[in-house]
Amino acid sequence: MIVLQTNASSDWAIFLGHFHPLVVHLPIGMLIMAAILEWLSRKKYLQTLQPAIAPILLTGSLTAVLSCIFGYLLSSSGEYNEDTLFWHQWMGIAVAAVSLLAWYLKGYEQSPVMNKGYLSALFTMLILLTVTGHLGGNMTHGEDYLYANTPEPFRSMFGLPKRIATGTAKRKIENIDEALVYQDIIAPVMEQKCWSCHNANKIKGELRMDQHDLLLKGGKHGAIIKANDPANSELIKRLLLPEEDEHHMPPKGKTPLTEQEIALLHWWIQQGAPFNKKVAQLKPDEKVKPLLASLSNGGNTQENGESISAVFKENVPAANEEDIQKLSALKVIVMPVANGQHFLQANFVNAPNFDDAQINLLNNLSEQVIWLKLGRTKITDKSMAEVAKCKHLTHLHLEHTAITDAGLAQLKDLQYLEYLNVFDTQISDSGIQALAKLKSLKNIYCWKSKVTKTGIQALKKALPDVAIHTGWEETKKISKKE
């Protein structure tokens, strides 16, 4: 099939093409409105609506043409399935052409023949709009977007496959040793976090991740997986970049992979990235065993009954929905962390203006919040007193904030804290030394801070198992010395 394409996707073409999803909704609304007004104005007492129809039709038609131009520019990115793109593209052009025809015929509707032609064009336009929009949704969200969440009994009635649970809850695997590593553990993570941008209909960066051979092939920058070498695999590198980095995957605004999910991907690649091996065949090490065990017990516990994090032994009441809504009103993303428990994560990625004056909104959620992402907000040391009240915290992001050693010292009683990110802050050796009594601490990210090798070595004496990340090269040097 022939698809209109530019010879090369210039920066300007892609830049303007990205306005297509924004512009396309205007003609859709205008053209549907024109059709509705036409139907209503056929009633005698609503005939006064007639004069508005032609201008609305013309506006909708012209913006449909503009949308086609932007869509054409966007198609040059090469990120979409050609077959679907072909039909979406030409049907979109047909919408613009037929809507212009309907506007033209509207001026001659006093003639019975022209009136029939006008109504036929209007009806055809609505059909084309529906199909074009559906194809656009398929390209953006996947072919099953329309029916993915169909409830029972309709799924069975229409022969749809059983729905796989997604979200923060993990699917329980009955026998973890017999589970296929890729099919049962890795693929569900990729399906939830990666496939929406890298599938048969949307091939961002010329990369598809929904088929084995295409995943190994990689994208326009080459392979993303180097078997037995996760440190040099582009997939792992992109996942470990700071969230604000433009190359971080998934992109900002999408749900990122958890540390546990990244660790499992790292292990799978380290074992050669096999697609047909079972867990027992790959002999998981001591770091991976508890992560795998959590999958066989619903996501929270190890085989011996002990929690991956001791915090999951705690029983906390459900949060008050009004308290959650107060944060949500500020564009804070509040989500459950584990299935069957009331623990929450609060992500402030969309609330960069959040500051000390608003931190008290966390007060009533201090028992439930265990993952707190305050990176890039305007909080200072004054907020740390409220943060310290979140006594069940396991993950705390403070990167790119004005936090200093004085603020960090207030966190010394967070007994469950496992992860701390103080990237690009004023934290120094004194600040991290104040955390020496936190025996649960496993990872500290302190790139671009004032932490030195001396401070790292001092903290490692108190917490020998803690991993202190100061940058790729620095980390390698310290590891060699130890």
Neighbours of 415 (CB within 10 A): 15
Same domain, 335 and 421: yes
Q: 408: pLDDT confidence band, cut at 50, 70 and 90?
A: very high
Between residues 11 and 5, the one the model is more confident about: 11
Same domain, 98 and 223: no
Residue 80 belongs to domain spanning: 11-141
Same domain, 340 and 453: yes
Residue 262 carries which side chain, given as an amino acid letter? I
Average pLDDT over residues 250-256: 74
Q: 9: pLDDT confidence band, cut at 50, 70 and 90?
A: low
Q: Which of 214-218, 441-445, 469-473 has the lowest mean pLDDT?
A: 469-473
Q: What is the pLDDT of residue 167?
A: 40
Q: Given 121, 141, 161, which residue is the final one in a domain?
A: 141
Same domain, 190 and 240: yes
Same domain, 45 and 124: yes
pLDDT at 172 over 70: no
Query: pLDDT tens across 107-121, in order?
Result: 888 888 998 999 999
Distance CA 385, CA 107 (A): 70
Average pLDDT over residues 228-243: 85
Residues forming a β-bridge with 468: 444
- Structure token pair of residue 44: 């005698």
Q: What is the pLDDT of residue 163?
A: 54
Q: 32: pLDDT confidence band, cut at 50, 70 and 90?
A: very high
Q: What is the pLDDT of residue 450?
A: 92
The answer to whether residue 227 is domain-embedded is yes
Average pLDDT over residues 127-150: 77
The answer to whether residue 100 is domain-embedded is yes
Radius of gyration of the chain (CA): 28
Q: Long-range contacts: 291-296, Cβ < 8 Å, 24+?
A: 291/260, 291/263, 291/264, 292/176, 292/185, 292/264, 293/176, 294/170, 294/260, 295/170, 295/171, 295/172, 295/173, 295/176, 295/179, 295/185, 296/172, 296/173, 296/174, 296/175, 296/176, 296/179
Distance CA 379, CA 384 (A): 9
Average pLDDT over residues 149-157: 70
Same domain, 281 and 326: no
Same domain, 347 and 303: no
Distance CA 201, CA 246 (A): 23
Residue 165: HSE in the Cβ half-sphere, 13 Å Cα cutoff: 8
Q: Long-range contacts: 68-73, Cβ < 8 Å, 24+?
A: 68/92, 68/93, 68/96, 70/16, 70/17, 70/19, 70/20, 70/23, 70/24, 71/17, 71/20, 71/24, 72/4, 72/17, 73/6, 73/13, 73/14, 73/16, 73/17, 73/20
Q: 80: pLDDT confidence band, cut at 50, 70 and 90?
A: low
Same domain, 27 and 50: yes
pLDDT at 8 over 50: no
Q: Given 259, 274, 308, which residue is the final one in a domain?
A: 308
Sign of CA dihedral 390, 394, 397, 398: positive
Same domain, 88 and 133: yes
Q: 189: pLDDT confidence band, cut at 50, 70 and 90?
A: confident
Q: How many residues does the chain have?
A: 482
Q: Which CATH number covers residue 472?
A: 3.80.10.10
Q: 201: pLDDT confidence band, cut at 50, 70 and 90?
A: low
Same domain, 268 and 339: no
Q: What is the pLDDT of residue 158?
A: 67
User: Is the bond preceding 153 in cis, omega lying within 30 degrees of 0?
Assistant: yes
Q: 94: pLDDT confidence band, cut at 50, 70 and 90?
A: very high
pLDDT at 86 over 70: yes
pLDDT at 92 over 90: yes
Q: 340: pLDDT confidence band, cut at 50, 70 and 90?
A: low
| Dihedral pair phi/psi, residue 410, rounded to 5° | -75, -5
Q: What is the pLDDT of residue 109?
A: 81
In sequence order, the 6+-apart residues with CB closer than 8 A to the CB of 148 are 142, 163
Q: 143: pLDDT confidence band, cut at 50, 70 and 90?
A: low
Q: What is the pLDDT of residue 300?
A: 43
User: Is the bond preceding 250 in cis, omega lying within 30 degrees of 0?
Assistant: yes
Sign of CA dihedral 277, 278, 283, 288: positive
Distance CA 416, CA 62 (A): 59
Q: Which DSSP string corresponds to 345-373? A: EEE-TT-TT--TTTGGGGGGGTTTEEEEE
State the helix-helix crossing angle for 82-106 and 112-141, rounded to 10 degrees: 150
Between residues 40 and 204, the one the model is more confident about: 40
Q: Which of 87-101, 168-182, 217-231, 250-264 has the lowest mean pLDDT?
A: 168-182
Percent of the chain, pLDDT > 70?
A: 83
Q: What is the pLDDT of residue 65?
A: 94
Average pLDDT, the chain: 82
Q: Is 205 left (phi over 0), alpha (psi -120 to 50) or beta?
A: left
Percent of the chain, pLDDT > 90?
A: 40
Between residues 322 and 3, the one the model is more confident about: 322
Are 274 and 182 in contact by the 8 Å Cβ rule? The answer is: yes
The answer to whether residue 315 is domain-embedded is no
Q: 274: pLDDT confidence band, cut at 50, 70 and 90?
A: very high
Same domain, 422 and 331: yes
Q: How many domains does the chain contain in total?
A: 3
Between residues 475 and 43, the one the model is more confident about: 43
Residue 420 carries which side chain, given as an amino acid letter? L
Average pLDDT over residues 271-278: 90
Q: Which of 109-118, 135-144, 393-402 has the lowest mean pLDDT?
A: 135-144
Q: Which of 309-313, 352-356, 404-408, 430-434 has the lowest mean pLDDT?
A: 309-313
Q: Given 141, 168, 189, which residue is the final one in a domain?
A: 141
Pairing relationship of beta strands 333-336 and 443-445 according to DSSP bridges: unpaired
Q: 160: pLDDT confidence band, cut at 50, 70 and 90?
A: low
Distance CA 108, CA 6 (A): 39
Give the CA-trace dihedral at 164, 167, 168, 173, to 10 degrees. 10
In sequence order, the 6+-apart residues with CB closer than 8 A to the CB of 133 are 28
Average pLDDT over residues 154-164: 63
Same domain, 31 and 99: yes
